[in-house]
Amino acid sequence: MAMTKLVYSFNDGNRDMREVLGGKGANLSDMTNLGLPVPPGFTVSTNACNKYFEDGQKLTEELINSIKVELEKVEKSLGKKLGGSKNPLLVSVRSGAPVSMPGMMDTILNLGLNDETVEAVALETSNRRFAFDCYRRFIQMYGDVVLGVPHYRFERKLESLKQNEGVTEDTKLKAESLKELSEDYKAIIKKETGEDFPQDPKEQLLKAVEAVFASWNNQRAKLYRQINKIPDHYGTAVNVQAMVYGNMGETSGTGVLFTRNPSTGENKLYGEFLVNAQGEDVVAGIRTPKPILELEKIMPEVYKELNDISYKLEKHYRDVQDIEFTIEQGRLFMLQTRNAKRTAAAAVKIAVDMVNDNILTKDEAILRVDASQLDKLLHRQIDDGSHVEHIATGLPASPGAATGALVFSADNAEKLVEKGKKVILIRPETTPDDIHGIVAAEGILTQRGGMTSHAAVVARGMGKPCVCGCEALNIDIMDKNVKIGEETYNEGDIVTIDGATGNVISGTVKLIDPELSDELITFLGWADDVRQLNVRTNADTPEDANKAREYGAEGIGLCRTEHMFMAQDRLPIVQQMILSDSKEKQQAALDKLLPFQKEDFYGIFKAMAGLPVTIRLLDPPLHEFLPNAEELAKEINEMKSEAKPAYKIKEKEQILKRIKSLHESNPMLGHRGCRLAIVHPEIYDMQVHAIFSALEELKKEGIDAIPEIMIPLVGEAKELKIVKDNVLKVANQYSHLDLDYKVGTMIELPRACVTADEIAEHAEFFSFGTNDLTQTTFGYSRDDAEGKFLPAYIDKKILPENPFVSIDEKGVGVLVDLGVAKGRKVKKNLKIGICGEHGGDPQSINFCQKVGLDYVSCSPFRVPIARLAAAQSYISQKK
Amino acid sequence: MAMTKLVYSFNDGNRDMREVLGGKGANLSDMTNLGLPVPPGFTVSTNACNKYFEDGQKLTEELINSIKVELEKVEKSLGKKLGGSKNPLLVSVRSGAPVSMPGMMDTILNLGLNDETVEAVALETSNRRFAFDCYRRFIQMYGDVVLGVPHYRFERKLESLKQNEGVTEDTKLKAESLKELSEDYKAIIKKETGEDFPQDPKEQLLKAVEAVFASWNNQRAKLYRQINKIPDHYGTAVNVQAMVYGNMGETSGTGVLFTRNPSTGENKLYGEFLVNAQGEDVVAGIRTPKPILELEKIMPEVYKELNDISYKLEKHYRDVQDIEFTIEQGRLFMLQTRNAKRTAAAAVKIAVDMVNDNILTKDEAILRVDASQLDKLLHRQIDDGSHVEHIATGLPASPGAATGALVFSADNAEKLVEKGKKVILIRPETTPDDIHGIVAAEGILTQRGGMTSHAAVVARGMGKPCVCGCEALNIDIMDKNVKIGEETYNEGDIVTIDGATGNVISGTVKLIDPELSDELITFLGWADDVRQLNVRTNADTPEDANKAREYGAEGIGLCRTEHMFMAQDRLPIVQQMILSDSKEKQQAALDKLLPFQKEDFYGIFKAMAGLPVTIRLLDPPLHEFLPNAEELAKEINEMKSEAKPAYKIKEKEQILKRIKSLHESNPMLGHRGCRLAIVHPEIYDMQVHAIFSALEELKKEGIDAIPEIMIPLVGEAKELKIVKDNVLKVANQYSHLDLDYKVGTMIELPRACVTADEIAEHAEFFSFGTNDLTQTTFGYSRDDAEGKFLPAYIDKKILPENPFVSIDEKGVGVLVDLGVAKGRKVKKNLKIGICGEHGGDPQSINFCQKVGLDYVSCSPFRVPIARLAAAQSYISQKK
C-alpha cells in the first residue's frame, strides 16, 4: 500500500486539498503559491488526525518523523531553530478542519518558548517586555489547551497583578512583572497538574499537535458539527507556522478583515484591528478593536498593501474573503484567508453584485446563497414607524429583531427554552462554551467585542439577531442583572434587540412582515428562470394565499379543509354533525356547514385566480373535532355534585358516550381520510358541493379558478375509485357549467407507493404527503417520537437528522421514487407534487428534483426558499 | 368476434367445462358420456348468466332461441313435448355454479305442468294422485322461486288441508285433495301477485331460467361466496333436465349418497333415501330419511346398480362422490354427482386410504385436504372420562364439541354473538335463510333432518359441531323454549353438543385437548417429507412449547417476553422499575425481575431442547404495564373525598403523573421495541443476563439449548448495531461457557424492508413481523380498523379479505419480497422466517413458500395446519 503523506509544507499544498490540509492549511499553501507574505510553516494533515484516533490517540513514529522533517525545512528557511538558544524559532499551532468551524477548536501561539529561549528572544528583539509578554501568554494557552488547567486560574493571577501594579491594561505591565507572572503561571501548572511546565520545545510541539487533534472531539466542536451537519470523519488538520508578532509595539498590530461587508454585502473593506496585540485578542472580543478604515491613517502603506491583497484574493477565490493578518513592526503578514460567512441579505447582494461585475455566472451566483438562510430575510422586523425608545445601542452584528426574557448564562438559556420561554442571552462576551445558549436563544446581546467577535460570527452563521460591543451595559453575572445608566434589568425582564440597527429596547415591540429587497427579487427571478420544479404553497385562507402569491407561489398545493371546520363559528355545527343520532340530523348539520365551506373556497379560489388550487377533502378522524373526554367527564362529575338537572347531565353523558365510541388507540392509523368518506360519504359530498357552488359563482364573475380535488390517505386503488366516483356524482350536477377540474390523491402510505400503478389508473394527479409517509415508513408517531426518542436518535447518530425536517432518502425516499415510477408507468405525464413540510426544506427539494416531481408545496414564508432551492437542485444535478 | 355458445346439450359437455357449465352441468354431461342413466337435458351456461347481468337482467333473443333448439332435442329423444296435451315433457330447472354452493340457489321441479298437462300426466301414469302431487309442488316452488310468494303461505294451506283430512303425512292426501290444493295455491298466487299462475310451459321455463340467474345475487348466495372466497364473476349455469319421479309410489324413491362416510372417512356407502318422495324432501330435512343400507333390503337390484355406479364414479373422479339419485318405478336415474364435502377427519382418512389403495399419489393426497380445515381436528373435545349425562341424542352430523347459550333464531344468534356471547343455534330444521346464524353459532342442533340435511352439510363445511335429527326435542319457536321429556330449556340456557356422538348435554362440560389420529400422523408425516418450509411455534410458556412440539413444531419462532412481565407476581416489580425516580431504584427492580426471567427462559429452553428458540426482547411501550390513567384518577378522587392520608394520595398522584408523562397519542408507533432499548438499555441487559444465566444452568445439566435473540422494531441498521452491541457486551460475560447463539431482528416496518440490505449486515436472522408490517404499510391500527372501517372495506370489496388474517400480497407482500431479496443480497444464506399470525394461515404460508422463507411460526394449535399448508404450497408451486 502506498504510504499516505501525513505532513505537507506550505509550498507543497494547494487550494484543492481542503480535505487533506483543512481549509486554513489549503489556503495558506495557496497564498504561499500566490507569493503573498505568509510566514513559513507546514500542515499536519487530516489523515494524520484520523490515524491518531484510529491508533487509540497516539502519535506514530512515522508522524513524529514527518513533523521533524518539515520543521527542519522551516528552521532552515528562516535560519532559526526551535529551542535554539540564539535566534529561536517560535511557532503557532492552529487547528484547521476541511469545513470552517470558527473558534470551535484550539490554537496555541508562541510555542517554542521556555526559560532559556525567552531570554534569547528578549535579546534578539531588544524587547524584554515583549518576550515575557509572549511567554506568559504561551504558558497560559498551553496550560489551558494542552494541560487542561482552567483559564480563569491564570486570569485571576493577571488581574491581581494589575491591581498590585495599579494598571488597568495588560500593555502597561512591565517586563519584570510579566516575568514574575510567567513564574506564577508555571507554579499554577505545577500545582494543578503535579508536573513541571515542559521546557523541551519539541515536546511542546508534539503535545500541542495532539491537543489540537483531541479538540476535534470536544463537546462544543461536536455540537457545532451536529448543527451544521459536518461529518465526524473529516478530522482536523494542524497548521504549524512561524510566529509573527502583532504585539511588538505601536508599529505592530493584528486584525481581521472581510473583503465586503458580511452583514449587508456592501462592496467595501470591512473589518477591525488592534494595535500592539496578538490575533486572539481580536477574535475573543476582550478588547474592542478599531474599524479597518482607520488603519489607512495609522499605517497607509500597510493599508494599501492589505487593500491590494484583498482585491487579489477575492478575484482569485471568486468570493468574499475573511482574512486574518498581523503587522510586525510595519511589515504585513497574511495568516489566513477563507470564504467569508455572511448574512442572507449580504449573500444575496454579493451574489447579485458579482454577476453584475461579471465575476460569477448566474448559475454560480444561485449556488452561492444558502437557501435555508433566506428564511432569515423573511423574518418579521421592527416596524420603522413604531418609534420606540431604545435603552442602549451596540454594534449591529447580525440583523433581525428578537424579543425575549434576559438570561445571563448559556445553561439558564437552555433551561428556560426547554420550558417554552423565549430568551435573549446577555453576556459580557461569548466564548465557544456558550454555544448551547446561543442555539437556544432568540438573540444575543454582548457588552464587549466587535463585529467579528465570537458572538457576532456565530450569530450571523445561525441567522440569529445579535447586538454586540454594547458598552453601555454594566453586567453583573453573579447577581444576574445589568445596569444601563440608572436602570437595572434583572433576569426574566423582557427586552427586544434589533440586530440591523444595534438598538436595545425595553419590552416588546410591534414587528412587521418583511419586504423582499430589490436584490432578492432580482436574484429569485434568476432562480425562477432556471428551475424546473414549480413552487406552490400550503394555504388554508385567502390571506395566506395572497401572502404566498406575493412571495412567488404558483398555486396552492395543499388547502386543508379541516382548518375550516375548526373555526369558532363552525365547530359547534361540526360537533352537531358528528354527534347526531340520525341521518336526517346529520344532514341538517352538513347543510348548515355548506355555505361556510362555499365561502371559504370562494375566497381561496379568488385569491389564487389563474393558478391551480389543490383542495384536500377532510382528513382527520372525527374525534379531533370533539371535546376532550377527560375534561367532559370532569364536567359531568361537577354537574352531578352541583345537582344540575338530570336531563342536562344526560345530554352530556350521551356526548361522552359518543366521544368514547369514537376513541381510537392509534388515531394516526385510524378512521380518517378517505376511510371516513367510504363509511360516511355525505361529508365529502357536502365539501364537493361547496367547491362547485363556489366555482359556479366565480364563473359568473369571470374569475378563473383551477380546482384540483385531492383525496387523502388512499392505500388501495379501489378506495380512490369509490370516493372519486362519489365526487364525480356531485360534480356532474354542475356539468352544465362546463368546469375544468381534476381529481387526484395523496400518496402518503407505503402501500400507496407500492401500488401506485393501480392508483394512477384513477388519479389525475399525485401529491406525496411525506409527513404521514415518514410516520408509516418508520413506524414513528411524530407527536410521540419528537418528544420521546427522536432526540436520542439524532444525538447517537442513529439518524443523520430529524426525518420530519429533511426527507429520509434511504427509506422514505425509496418509496417515493417507487411511487413516482409506478405512477408514471401508467400515466406518462402524471402531475406529481409534494405537500408535506418537506416541500420547504432545501435538502428535500433537491430530492424532489432528483426523482422528477413537478412541484413542491410549502408554507407561504418558505416559498422564496423553495424557489431558490429548486434552482440550485437543477443546476447542481445538471453538472 | 366468435359467438359464445350459450346452451349445451348434456351430450356436448364434459367434466373439464365446469367454468362454462357449472359443476353440476359438467358432471351431468360427464355421466351421460359414461353411459350412466341420466335423464336427458341441457345446460344454460354461465356465459349466458353473465351476459344476462350485463344486459341489465334480460334474456336475449339469441339465448331464447338456443334454449328452444336444445329443448326440441330433448323432446325428440323422449318423444314428449313440453306443454304437450299428450305425454307431456316435464323438466327440472336447477342452478349449478362452477364451485359448489349447496342449497344456496334455487331449484324448480315438475316444470311444464299446467291445468291441461296435469291431466295428461294423470292419464299417462294412471296415477292422478301423483300428477296433482307434482302440480301442487310445482306451483309452490314456482310461486316461491320465480314469483317471490313466501313459501309459508302455501305450507299453511297444506297444514290446514291435512288437519281437515285428518292425516299427518303428505303421502296420505288423496288426488282430489291435492287437486283442490293446487287450485288454492293458484289462488294464493293470484292474490299475492295480482296475476294468474302462467299456464304456458315455455313462459314457465324462461322465467325459471331467469329466476335461477337472479338467485346468483340473492343475499345468502352472496354471503356464502364471501365466506368461501368465491368470485362474484363466476355466475351460475342452469340445468334443464327431463323429470323423473321418486314420488310415483312405493317402488319409487329418491336419495343422496356419499361413496364414503363424509364424517369419518370410512370406506362404506353412506347416505339416505326416502321412498315415494322427490329430491327436495331429503335435502330440506323435513322428513327423516332411512339409511342407504336399507335400500338393499327394499330394492336389492337398484341397490346393486347404485353400488356399482358409485364405485365407477369414484374411480372416474378419483375422489369421494356425493350423488343424487331418483328411482322411478324401480328404475334408477342419476341426477347429480360431485366431489363430496367432508369433515377434516374424513378428508385425512380418505386421503390416506386412497394413497394406500394406489388411487392417489402422496402429492395428490396432500392437496386433497383443506389445510385450514385441520383446525377442526385440533379443537378441544369432551373428555371421555367425564361421564356426563346427556339429555338427548341426535345424529352425529358434524364432529367436535361446542358449548353455548341456546338461541332459537339465526337473527338472535347473530345479535348475541356480536355482544360477545357463545351460542348454540337450535332449530326444528335449518334452511339457507339461517346461514348467518350458523356462521355466528358455536354449534347447531336440529330436531329434524338427517346426516345430509342442510344443517349437517353446512356445519360440516364450516367445521362446526352439529347434532341433527334429534327427535326428542320439542321446540317452540314462538315461545323460545324446547321441551325434552319433562324439562323445559329456555333461550339463554347453556347446553353442550357433541357432534361426534350426537349427544346433547345440559350446561358446560370439561373439554380436553385433542389427540392426533393415526391417519393424521401418517398424513402429516407425508407433508413433512415434502415441505421445504420449517414450521415453528409462537410460545411463551413451557406448556405451550411442549404442546407445540407434540404437534410437530421444529422450534420456537417467537417467544414474547412481555407476557412474562404481565404475570401477576412480576407486574408490581415491573411497575416499580418503570416508576422509579432514580437509576438505582430502577436497577433494584430489574435485579428482582432477573430470577423470574431466568426461570422463564430455563423452562422454555428445556422444553425445546435441541430445537431453536427465538426470544424477542421486550417490545411494547412501558405504559402498557401501568394502571389505566382514568381509573387511577378516579381512585385518587375517591381517596380525596374519603379524606385518605395526604401522603398516600400524593404517592398515587405521582404514579398518575408518570403514567401521563408516558402517554402516547399513537402507542403503536411510539416508544417501544428497540427504541426502548436505545433509551433504556438496562432492560434488555437484564433480559440478556437472564437468557445467559439460564443457558449456563442448562449447559451444566447437559441440555442442548439453541437460543436466537431477536431485536424488535428495527427500522434502521444503526439501531440494530447499537442494541446488538449491548447484547454482545452482556453475552461476552458468559464467553467462558462457549455458547452458541444468534442475534437477529424482526422486520416489521416498511423502512426495515427498504433498507434490509444494511440491516442484514448486523443480523444473523430475519423474522418478518407481518402484523406490524401490515399496520404500517396500510396505515391501519388493527385495534381501530377491525372495529371501525375494515368490515365495510371487506363488504364493499375494497379489500378481498382482512389483511391481518391473510397477508396482503399486493402491498405488504411486495415489501416482504423486497426485504428478503435485499437481505439475501448481503447474506446469501440469511435465515428468514415469519412470526406473525399469518404464519398459521395457509394462504399466507403459500406466499412465504413463494418468496423463499426458511420457516413460518404460528400458535401451537396451528402447527399441523402450517405443516400441511407448507407441503401443499411446495407441491402446487412445483407444478
Indicate the residue among A308, A339, A370 that finishes a domain: A339
Q: Nearest Cβ partner of A776 from B678, B779, B808?
A: B779
Contact A718 B797 (CB under 8 A): yes
Q: Are B539 and B604 in contact (CB under 8 A)?
A: yes
Cell of B211: 329466476
Report the pLDDT averaged over residues B184-210: 95
Q: Does any domain span residue B731?
A: yes
A to B CB pairs, distance under 8 Å? 178
In a domain, B345, yes or no: no
In 3D space, the residue among A456, A99, A438 whose CA is nearest the CA of residue A263 turns out to be A456
Q: Tell me the percentage of chain B whose pLDDT exceeds 90.
A: 65
Q: Report the CATH number at residue A24.
A: 3.30.1490.20
Write out chain B residues lying below 8 Å of A797, CB-based: 718
Catalytic residue among A134, A379, A454, A559: A454
Residue A200: predicted pLDDT: 96
pLDDT band per the 50, 70, 90 thresholds, residue B624: confident
The winner for highest mean pLDDT among A284-288, B93-97, B786-790 is B93-97
Query: Tell me, what's the pLDDT at B660?
Result: 82
Of A718, A793, A796, the CB nearest to B798: A718
Q: What letter represents residue A346's amino acid?
A: A
User: Which stretch of DSSP H or E encloses residue A284?
Assistant: helix A279-284
C-alpha cell at A434: 456558550
CA distance A751 to chain B (A): 5
Q: Kindly identify which residue of chain B lies nearest to residue A721, measuring between CA atoms.
A: B798
Q: What residues in A contact B789, CB-CB < 8 Å?
A: 671, 675, 678-679
Q: Kindly report, residue by residue over B372-426, the tens digit of the pLDDT.
A: 888 778 766 777 666 778 899 888 888 788 999 999 999 899 889 888 899 999 9
pLDDT for A732-755, tens place per residue? 999 999 999 999 999 999 999 999
Buried b (16+ CB within 10 A) or exposed e, B172-203: ebeeebbbbbbebbbebbeeeeeeebbeebee
Residues of A in contact with B714 (CB under 8 A): none
Q: Which of B578, B619, B640, B666 to mutate to test the interface with A (most CBs of A within 10 A)?
A: B666
Strand blocks (E) in B276-427: 290-291, 321-328, 331-339, 381-382, 392-393, 395-398, 401-407, 423-427
Question: What is d(CA A670, CA B749) in angstroms, rounded to the nearest whole number?
Answer: 18
Nearest CA in chain B to A792: B679
Task: Give the residue from A477, A512, A547 where a domain finishes.
Answer: A512
With CB atoms and an 8 Å threshold, state whether A811 touches B716: yes
* Of A249, A252, A338, residue with least CA distance to A295: A252
Q: Do A788 and B755 touch (CB under 8 A)?
A: no
CA distance B521 to B525: 6
CB B876 within 8 A of CB B870: no
The model's confidence at residue A527, banded by pLDDT at 50, 70 and 90, is very high
pLDDT value of position A125: 85
pLDDT of residue B280: 67
Q: Check pLDDT > 80 for residue A59.
A: yes
Q: Give the number of other CB atoms < 10 A from CB of residue A235.
A: 23
Q: Residue B757: what residue type?
A: D
Same domain membership, residue A260 and residue A232: no
pLDDT tens string B715-755: 999 999 999 999 999 999 999 999 999 999 999 999 999 99
Q: Do A675 and B812 touch (CB under 8 A)?
A: no
Window from B43-57, B61-75, B452-466 with minimum mean pLDDT: B452-466
pLDDT at A254 over 60: yes
Cα–Cα distances (Å) from A627 to A597, A655, A658, B469, B629, in that order, read 22, 9, 11, 57, 18
**A835 included as an active-site residue:** yes
Report the largest interatomic distance among the alpha carbons of chain A, rounded to a whole angstrom: 104
> Considering CB atoms only, which of B630, B715, B779 is closest to A778?
B715
Q: Which residue of B has its CA nearest to A630?
A: B630
Residue A723: per-residue pLDDT = 97
Residues B714 and B682 in one domain: yes
SS3 label, residue A275: strand
Rounded CA-CA distance B499/A79 in Å is 110
- Residue of B725, B777, B796, B808 to mutate for A, most A C-beta atoms under 10 A: B777
**HSE-CB of B358 using CA atoms within 13 angstroms:** 0
Please give the pLDDT value at position A166: 87
Residues of A in contact with B748 (CB under 8 A): 779
Say whether B373 sits in a helix, a strand or coil.
Answer: helix
Q: Residue B820 phi/psi, 5° resolution?
A: -65, -50
Q: Residue A615: what are its φ and ψ, rounded to 5°?
A: -105, 120
Q: What is the DSSP letter of A360?
A: S
For residue B664, the chain A residues in CB contact (below 8 A) are 781, 783-784, 788
Give the gap in angstroms from C-alpha A664 to the nearest C-alpha of chain B: 6
Residue type, A567: A
- Cα atoms found within 13 Å of the Cα of residue A345, Cβ hemisphere only: 25
A785 and B670 within 8 Å at the Cβ level: the answer is: yes
pLDDT computed for residue A1 by the predictor: 39
The sheet that has A321-328: what strands, in order across it? Answer: A290-291, A270-275, A253-258, A321-328, A331-339
Instruction: Give chain B positions within 8 Å (CB) of A679.
Output: 788-789, 792
Task: Round the average pLDDT of chain A to a whole number and report it.
Answer: 91
Q: How far apart are CA B733 and CA A503, in angstroms?
A: 63
Are residues B671 and A754, on separate chains, in Cβ contact within 8 Å? Answer: no
User: Is pLDDT at B283 greater than 60 in this prediction?
Assistant: no
* Annotated binding residue B769: yes
DSSP letter string, A568-606? TTTHHHHHHHHH-SSHHHHHHHHHHHHHHHHHHHHHHHH
Q: What does the DSSP 8-state code read for residue A813? A: I
Whichever domain contains A293, its CATH number is 3.30.470.20
Note whether B777 contacts A789, CB cutoff 8 Å. Answer: no
- pLDDT score of A102 more than 80: no
The DSSP secondary structure of B534-554, one letter per residue, reads EEEEE-SSHHHHHHHHHTT--
For residue B406, what pLDDT is reported?
Answer: 96
CA distance A675 to chain B (A): 7
Rounded average pLDDT over B530-554: 94
Contact across the interface for B812 and A778, Cβ inside 8 Å: no
Read off the C-alpha cell for B55. Answer: 344486459
- More confident call, A594 vs A385: A594
The verdict on B589 and B654 lying in the same domain is no
Q: Tell me: the pLDDT tens digits for B315-370?
A: 999 999 999 999 999 999 999 998 898 888 899 999 999 999 999 999 999 999 99
**Is the CB of residue B504 less than 8 Å from the CB of residue B390?**
yes
| ipTM exceeding cut-off 0.85 for this assembly | no
Nearest-angstrom CA–CA distance, A727 and A685:
7
Give per-residue pLDDT as tens, A306-321: 999 999 999 999 999 9
Output the pLDDT for position B1: 40
Give B819-867 as a 3 state SS string. Answer: HHHHHHHHCCCCEEEECCHHHHCHHHHHHHHHHCCCEEEECHHHHHHHH
C-alpha cell belonging to residue A740: 375544468
**Do A722 and A654 reside in the same domain of the chain?**
no
Nearest CA in chain A to B810: A755
Q: pLDDT at residue B284 above 60?
A: no
Which pLDDT band holds residue A385 (cuts at 50, 70, 90)? low
pLDDT at B281 over 70: no
With contacts defined as CB-CB under 8 Å, which chain B residues touch A808?
751
Which residues are registered as beta bridge partners of A536?
A857
Cβ neighbors of B396 (< 8 A, separation 6 or more) are B263, B467, B498, B499, B500, B501, B502
Q: Beginning with the edge strand found earlier in the chain, give each strand of the sheet holding B237-242 in spatial order.
A: B7-9, B41-44, B237-242, B91-96, B107-111
Q: Which residue out of A671, A724, A817 would a mutagenesis test of the B interface target, given it has the greatest number of B Cβ atoms within 10 Å?
A: A671
d(CA A255, CA A236): 24
A427: helix, strand or coil = strand
Could you tell me how far CA A489 lies from the centroid of its own chain? Answer: 30
Q: Is B387 helix (H, G, I), strand (E, B) or coil?
A: coil
**Smallest Cα distance from A766 to chain B, Å:** 17
Q: Tell me the pLDDT of chain B averaged across its residues.
A: 91
CA distance B154 to B141: 10
- Residue B525 falls inside a structural domain: no
Q: Which among A671, A751, A798 is the nearest to B716, CB-wise?
A: A798
pLDDT given for residue B762 in this prediction: 97
Question: In terms of DSSP bridges, do strands A556-560 and A534-538 run parallel, antiparallel, or are they unpaired?
Answer: parallel
Nearest to A678 among B722, B777, B798 (CB): B798
Domain boundary among B663, B692, B725: B663
Q: What is the pTM of this model?
A: 0.79
pLDDT of B563 strictly over 80: no
| Planar angle of CA B60, B64, B70, nearest 5 degrees | 145
Query: For residue B779, what is the DSSP state?
Result: T
Cβ–Cβ below 8 Å for B718 and A797: yes
Instruction: Show residues of chain A in contact with B633, CB under 8 Å.
Output: 630
A78 Cβ neighbours under 8 A, 6+ residues apart: A40, A89, A242
Q: Are B553 and B860 in contact (CB under 8 A)?
A: yes
Q: Are residues B568 and B461 in the same domain?
A: no
Q: Which residues contact B803 (CB under 8 A, 6 or more apart)?
A: B774, B778, B780, B811, B812
- Write out the three cell numbers for B388: 356426563
Shortest Cα distance from A594 to chain B (angstroms)? 26
Q: Alpha helices, DSSP H only, in A6-60?
A: 18-33, 46-54
Structure-block grid coordinates of residue B815 = 415489501
Asked if A466 and A498 touch (Cβ cutoff 8 Å), the reply is: no
Both A195 and A63 in a single domain? Answer: yes
> Mean of the pLDDT values across residues A763-770?
97
Containing structural domain, residue B861: 531-619+673-878
Which H/E stretch holds residue B798? none
Q: What is the pLDDT of residue B2?
A: 45
* Lookup: cell for A334: 497574511
- Total domains in the fold of chain B: 5
Same domain, B41 and B123: yes
Q: Is residue A668 part of a domain?
A: no
Please state, in angstroms and as integers, the Cα–Cα distance from residue B101 to each residue in A151, B23, B28, B337, following that order: 91, 10, 17, 14
How far is the alpha carbon of B751 from chain A, nearest alpha carbon, in Å? 5
Residue A361, domain member (yes or no): no
Q: Examine residue A809 and state whether it is found in any structural domain, yes or no.
A: yes
Q: Same structural domain for residues B613 and B627?
A: no
B626 in the same domain as B718: no
H or E segment and range at residue B92: strand B91-96
Residue B353 lies in a domain: no
B185 within a domain of the structure (yes/no): yes
Where residue B445 falls among pLDDT bands split at 50, 70, 90? very high
Confidence of residue B221 (pLDDT cuts 50, 70, 90): confident
Buried residues in A388-415 as b, exposed as e (16+ CB within 10 A): beebbebbbbbbbbbbbbbbbbbebbbe
Does residue B143 sit in the same domain as residue B268?
no
Q: Confidence class of residue A209 from pLDDT cuts 50, 70 and 90?
A: very high
Residue A738 shares a structural domain with residue A753 = yes
In terms of domains, do A196 and A279 share one? no
Q: How far apart are CA B781 and CA B774, in angstroms?
A: 9
